[in-house]
Amino acid sequence: MKKLLIINGPNLNLLGLREPELYGRETYEDLVRRVENACKEHGLECKCFQSNHEGALVDEIQEARGRFDGIVINPAAYTHTSIAILDALRAVGIPAVEVHLTDISAREEYRRISFAGKACVRTIAGHGPAGYEEAITFLEDYLKHPASK
């Protein structure tokens, strides 16, 4: 059975509370349930991890090598600043899909740059929590047919 690592960065633990007009009212716990259910429907195992600390996210990515087949990552604010997360994603060589709840290309200028996305096989942005389900579906197919992507 294929295994996915789902990584969420800073402040995603505050979903439902933080700017609900942008990020919605679904809580982080709701999001984890949604992801777990989607993985189960696709016959995938998953581990969900959230941290507000860049180093913890890098450690989790590095520890995924040899243990996970794919990564779904929402680096949150670190998207726009973290070369360390970019380097970790490149180093482990695991196909990753970047997810953002909002459309970062339509937000503030500083949010339009994604370092992490440079190491990902796809970016899904602006689809809210459903973007995670899209990422899981895409990765399942990608892992079955990597050469066709």
Q: Which residues are designated catalytic? A: 23, 100
- Nearest CA to 76 out of 96, 95, 48, 57 is that of 57
Beta carbons of 82 and 115 less than 8 angstroms apart = yes
Distances (CA, A) of 130 to 19, 23, 25, 126, 137: 18, 12, 13, 9, 11
**Residues pairing with 78 in the sheet:** none
